[in-house]
Structure 1
Amino acid sequence: MLIKQGMHGPTGEYWIGSAAMVSEAAAIEIAAGLRDRIAKGEDVFQEKRDRKKQTVTLGWACDEFWKVHEPTLKNDKHKSQWVHGLTVKWKALRDKPISKVTVDDVYRTIKPVWETTLETAEKNIEQLHKVFLWAIAFGYAKESPAQKAVLKNRLGTPRKKVQHLAALPWRDMPAFMPRLRCATGLGARALELVILTATRTTEARAARIEEFDLKQKIWTIPDTRMKGGKQHVVTLSDAAVTLLSSLIDDRKKGLLFPGMDGDKPISDMTMNAVLKRMKAACTVHGFRSSFRDWAGANDQPREIVEECLSHEVGNAVERAYKREALLKQRRIVLEAWSAYLAPKESNVVAIRG
């Protein structure tokens, strides 16, 4: 926005934020306010000059950036990751003037994370880089010391490999499922749904009743809860429909797995607590690997298995053309998985709760 102040007053650009941060209506209102101040003889650029004289720390910049970035995120898990990254991962640099933060500072801070959890380190670097882009726009910094390409050259290849989440061997699954079905509580039922549908923790624990069509035997997960940001349709086996019917009962809407206050879903740790009580040496996410390993050992079509796991296979045109066919084939694979988990000869009676 270009502001001109009087015949002989200061002239310059007054940046109020990008279109992604400020709506058109808000921009018009801000502009009107600035014009009123100019008409009263105020120097609207003095505030900008004063800000530049202040010592702006990285922590302050992170907090100010978060105020405009948080509304753009819809996923609670993503918000939590951002907050943790900006407040914890870069804690050692938060009190340092942002204009004094160097590539060496960023390198030393992120190196331990880079060597143990590569994916997390890359996300932390991307987050910090965005903060610096925001700071540059306001004149608080001249360049970003958190450019991934530069840092990757210095950090090199991690010495330690990324640890895969522990999975229960697929051959142990038929013995595990009766024990799980005898466990009580929403955490156990959520874990059962995760296993039957091969979905992720976030997708299941925040599921809403409105997403399920038990007559058509499908579960439509919105893009806001998907890792890839795209809607995913899950086919439901007969066992999954039976489980969901007992959970939904006569409810029409709301969270399938509500937490203690009812307004939020059960926490990430609820299903992990079930595994801990059962003394199972695996993670919730690991059951996706159990499903994939079972599929590979039992000649299930790889392309269909990847679709069940919501991994994109082929280009957009191919996926659109095959959508209906793949849905039918996915149903066959997940029904076979369900049958493997609960052999007909099993005489274990499940206790719901």
Structure 2
Amino acid sequence: MPKRVASALNSRKVQTEQRPGLHADGDGLYLQVTNTGTKSWTFRFQINGRRRDMGLGPAAGTSSAVSLAEARQLAAQAKTLVRNGVDPIEHRTARQAATATAAAKAMTFKQAAEAYIDSMRSGWRNAKHASQWSVTLETYAYPEIGNLAVGAVDNGLVLKVLSPIWSTKTETASRVRGRIEAILDYAAARGAREGDNPARWKGVLSKILPAPGKVRRVVHHASLPYAELPAFWPKLQMQDGMGARALEFTILTACRTGEVLGGRWHEVDLDGRVWAVPPERMKSGLEHRVPLSDPAMALLRKLAAVRIDDFVFPGQREGVSLSRMVMKLTLRRMKVDVTPHGFRATFRTWVADTTGFAHELAEAALAHTIGDKTVAAYQRGTMFEKRREMMKAWAEFVTEPKYAMVVQLVGIER
């Protein structure tokens, strides 16, 4: 072993023999010692009139340290490449890239899907969204393409997933298609696949499958005709239980059942007569301010008197909200074939058929997104006060006996 390299590798030699710099071993191989004593191997070569230094790895101090014999072998291989006109640094970079590409292309569709979901999780509104992705993919996509290389997924395989459910579960199938498309785009960005996306609708699947709107059977939530609501209301008030009270509040506020059941007391401003549903509990992702009518306020005050935790409509166990099924069971017990959610349609039809309130006011009351700025305008300032007037009129229609009497008289005349 040349004296300089031998002395630099031997930690027992005097410090002058371990001085910083390059210590030649021969044939372009050097031991590089830094000012801090770190040692690494370098192969110095010249190609196309340009001198280059190629790192061969650490000489000591780590589990991946390269021995002198290994360094000489690596230098010899690099020197052969130089002799053949190949830059060993570029050759190594190309080989590493090829290895990374091969590893990426070995990624299965399921691995790509899981990686995509993890990467998007922090940007999604809640954990339920990620769970929905996983459940639909596990149910429909993974059995067919989950274990296949993501780069091998083509039109035929996508159709194999979608065709069995396109006509029978069109809405679900459309969501699965969109999720497969997003995952394949993600895989392409990662270098795991090439070419067009076989799950894309426009220009690809649109030529093979009928448009969702032409095959989807839209099943609306069963709703009560608004003319029957005033007579239904006193019967509902006669029902015992928290489910009946939650249904009353759902009707009076025209809110979604999930928003009502998840309601917390800290969201309610009894003095200001406003219920502010936070963005994370709204389908739109925007805060929804609900003006509270007199009947809604009276109901809340009764509930506040028996409050047991922060849920406005608590379940049987502390810290758990009331189950959605309880409202459905209330309606079933009353032998009324409608859904709790259907009362939103009842409200919307009542506004359109019997009042002069603007379409946008009703849409804002239902928290339908009609443009962020517009929604914000209707939820604040004078527009919010107009919504308060509308909800007051709605509550009067629902609760005052005179409207029920009018409906009964009309029924007699018929």
Summarize the Cα distance change of 1:341–1:317 in structure 2 as closer, same or farther, 3 Å threshold.
closer
Summarize the Cα distance change of 1:317–1:284 in structure 2 as closer, same or farther, 3 Å threshold.
closer
Distance between the aligned counterparts of 2:102 and 2:315, measured in 1? 44
Q: Cα deviations across residues 233-263 of structure 1 (Å, max 9, x unaligned)?
A: 1111111112222223375973323445544
Q: Cα deviations across residues 203-255 of structure 1 (Å, max 9, x unaligned)?
A: 22212211111111111111222222211111111111122222233759733
Give the unaligned 5+ runs of structure 2: 1-40, 43-52, 67-91, 405-414
Q: Does 1:246 align with 2:279?
A: no
1:26 match = none
Q: Cα deviations across residues 34-90 of structure 1 (Å, max 9, x unaligned)?
A: xx999857x996997497288533233323333333343333543443232222232
Is the contact made by 1:223 and 1:232 (CA closer than 8 Å) also made in structure 2?
yes
Residue type of the alignment partner of 2:200: Q
Summarize the Cα distance change of 1:346–1:330 in structure 2 as closer, same or farther, 3 Å threshold.
closer
Summarize the Cα distance change of 1:133–1:199 in structure 2 as closer, same or farther, 3 Å threshold.
same
Give the unaligned 5+ runs of structure 1: 11-35, 348-353
Distance between the aligned counterparts of 2:322 and 2:131, measured in 1? 15
Summarize the Cα distance change of 1:325–1:167 in structure 2 as closer, same or farther, 3 Å threshold.
same
Distance between the aligned counterparts of 1:318 and 1:71, measured in 2? 26
Distance between the aligned counterparts of 2:280 and 2:98, measured in 1? 39
Is the contact made by 2:106 and 2:192 (CA closer than 8 Å) also made in structure 1?
no
Summarize the Cα distance change of 1:279–1:80 in structure 2 as closer, same or farther, 3 Å threshold.
farther
1:84 match = 135
1:142 match = 194
Distance between the aligned counterparts of 1:176 and 1:86, measured in 2? 43
2:208 match = 154
Which range moves more in the overlay, 129-138 or 216-225?
129-138
Q: Does 1:121 align with 2:176?
A: no
Which of residues 63, 78, 82 in structure 1 aligns to 2:114? 63
Q: Does 1:293 align with 2:345?
A: no
2:334 match = 278
Which of residues 193, 198, 209 in structure 1 aligns to 2:265? 209
Q: Percent identity of the aligned residues?
A: 32
- After TM superposition, give the deviation of residue 180 of structure 1 in Å: 2.6
Local SS of the residue matching 2:223 = coil
Is the contact made by 1:209 and 1:252 (CA closer than 8 Å) also made in structure 2?
no
Is the contact made by 1:75 and 1:225 (CA closer than 8 Å) also made in structure 2?
no
What are the within-5 Å matches in structure 2 for residues 207-246 of structure 1?
A: 207-246=263-302
Residue type of the alignment partner of 1:124: V
Compare CA radii of gyration and give the structure with the larger one: 2
1:327 match = 384
Which of residues 35, 48, 73 in structure 1 aligns to 2:124? 73
Give the length in aligned residue pairs: 317
TM-score, reference length from structure 2? 0.65
Is the contact made by 1:203 and 1:221 (CA closer than 8 Å) also made in structure 2?
yes
TM-score, reference length from structure 1? 0.75
Is the contact made by 1:85 and 1:124 (CA closer than 8 Å) also made in structure 2?
yes
Distance between the aligned counterparts of 2:224 and 2:215, measured in 1? 27
Distance between the aligned counterparts of 1:274 and 1:78, measured in 2? 29
Residue type of the alignment partner of 1:222: P
Distance between the aligned counterparts of 2:268 and 2:317, measured in 1? 23
Structure with higher RCO (Cα < 8 A, 6+ apart): 1
Local SS of the residue matching 1:210 = helix
Local SS of the residue matching 1:244 = helix
Distance between the aligned counterparts of 1:75 and 1:51, measured in 2? 35
